[in-house]
Amino acid sequence: MQHIIDRFVSYVTVDTESDPNSETTPSSAKQWDLAHKLVEELQQIGLQDVTIDDKAYIMATLPSNIDKKVPTIGFIAHFDTTPDFTGANVKPQIVRNYDGKDIVLNEAQNIVLSPKYFKDLLQYKGQTLITTDGTTLLGADDKAGITEIVTAMEFLIQNPEIQHGTIKIGFTPDEEIGRGAHHFDVEKFGADWAYTMDGSQVGELEYENFNAAGAKITFKGKSVHPGYAKGKMINSMLIANDFISDLPKGETPQETRGYEGFFHVHHLKGSIEETVLELIIRDHSKKKFEKRKELIEKMVQKINKKFAKQFGEPIAKAEIKDQYYNMKEKVLPVKHIVDIAEEAMKQVGVKPIIKPIRGGTDGCQLSYKGLPCPNIFAGGHNFHGKYEYVPVESMQKAIDVIVKIAQLTSSTDFENPAPKSRRKR
Ligand SMILES: [Zn+2]
């Protein structure tokens, strides 16, 4: 297990924080530091066609070691860390044989990782945890994923008796600022499907995410001296306020879970003359998603009708932009790619936890670019902050799952990959 720890530590101690305010790719020059190191390492362990392009996207190939033709599969992870919390000077702490009690991350600053608050810790009693020193994030998101993919490839190279088809691996920059898939060359990658190793706790397997849109609604007003305003003033802030009140009750992020969609008002800025309201729309169901967008349009029309006479022209305007879609639409027609991952987990003693993502992943963008791409656990918890930790045993399980998926893909009969009844449209 020590080689997993060493490899992981060698990655997280390189700062790769991405920068949403930058327009370059990668968004921060420091991401090159780890990118170059990874390229070298991939060559060293014996992968072939190791490439890095001018935007720091890394790809490599493990050639097939069998005669028959089987699907080419890929494993993908991102090497940047979130700009939400510092990733500079990460000093990983190794907690061996975790006793189920509080872990003091930083004595001087009294920062404690406690199972009283983070109950998930208790399922890792007796295991080896890697934590922060309380002053930075850890970067298990997603350097755990990179560790697992590299180690699994190394294992397959060192154990050539394990049969597998061609395996592609891809490491990307800038996932945390939503751009990881933007410059991913799906054609060059050349896999039939892939998995992002970017989920959280051991067992997670995800292939459903939100359909997402953003709406910007602009309300116009008319400013008049308040003393002479009767029948003349139109206060755009109050119209926006009415609009928000008219949104369906109980459909906010804080009141929903599972497959429940929502409207989320996240920005409001106004004066009497003009108020701009920004909200996001989320729903797993494509039909309900479209209905939600229609509702916004209808509410805007209703306000325009109400003020038509007084204002003369439309008083409100909505700009609605789709952001990403549910990968389920692209994955269900090839559902066997999820079934293989589920079976692989069961065969290595991991209980699959299949649940819808309340957000998006790089995999959903890749799925719409033609590379169906479910998400598998990387093992970490409490991403994007100082309480982030990862059990080494979970990383080992992820490695086992990758190896098993490679094996199962080479031994499955893909002439009849999935029963017809499971196929959607
Ligand atoms: Zn991630």
Residue-wise pLDDT tens digits, 210-256: 999 999 999 999 999 999 999 999 999 999 999 999 999 999 999 99
Annotated binding residues for Zn(2+), written as ranges, equal 78, 141, 176, 198, 384
φ, ψ for residue 345, nearest 5 deg: -60, -50
Pairing type for strands 73-78 and 193-199 reads parallel
Cα 142 to middle of ligand 1, angstroms: 5
- Measured in Å, residue 145 CA sits from the centre of ligand 1 at 8
Cβ neighbours of residue 131 under 8 Å, at least 6 residues apart? 92, 93, 95, 103, 105, 113, 138, 388, 389
User: What integer pLDDT is reported at residue 425 of this predicted model?
Assistant: 41
Catalytic positions, please?
80, 175
| Residue linked to tokens 């008049």 | 224
Cα torsion 151, 155, 158, 163: sign: negative
Compute the distance from residue 383 Cα to the ligand 1 centre, in Å.
Answer: 8
pLDDT at 412: 85
Tell me the CA–centroid distance for residue 105 and ligand 1, in Å.
23
State the binding site: 78, 141, 176, 198, 384
CB 219 within 8 A of CB 274: yes
Cα 123 to ligand 1 centroid, rounded to whole Å = 22
Report the distance separating Cα 184 and Cα 177, nearest Å.
15
Q: Residue 404: CB partners within 8 Å, gap ≥ 6?
A: 344, 345, 347, 348
Kindly tell me if the per-residue pLDDT of 398 is higher than 60: yes
**DSSP helix/strand/coil, 234:** strand
Distances (CA, A) of 258 to 284, 363, 401: 9, 19, 26
Per-residue pLDDT tens over the stretch 29-45: 999 999 999 999 999 99
Place of tokens 């080494």: 392
β-bridge partners, 361: none
Q: What is the mean pLDDT of residues 404-415?
A: 89
* Ordered domains of the chain (ranges, CATH): 1-208+327-411 (3.40.630.10), 211-323 (3.30.70.360)
Cis peptide before 63 (omega within 30 of 0): no
> Residues 379, 340, 401, 342: is their CA dihedral positive or negative?
positive
Q: Mean pLDDT of all residues in the chain?
A: 95
Measured between alpha carbons, how far is 219 from 272 in angstroms, rounded to an integer?
Answer: 9
pLDDT in tens, 315-372: 999 999 999 999 999 999 999 999 999 999 999 999 999 999 998 888 999 999 999 9
Reported as a pLDDT band with limits 50, 70 and 90, residue 415 is low
pLDDT at 416: 55
Q: Residue 395 C-alpha to ligand 1 middle, in angstroms?
A: 15
Q: Is 68 exposed, middle or buried (0-12, 13-18, 19+ CB in 10 A)?
A: exposed
d(CA 120, CA 201): 9
Instruction: Say what the pLDDT of residue 422 is.
Output: 44
DSSP 403: H
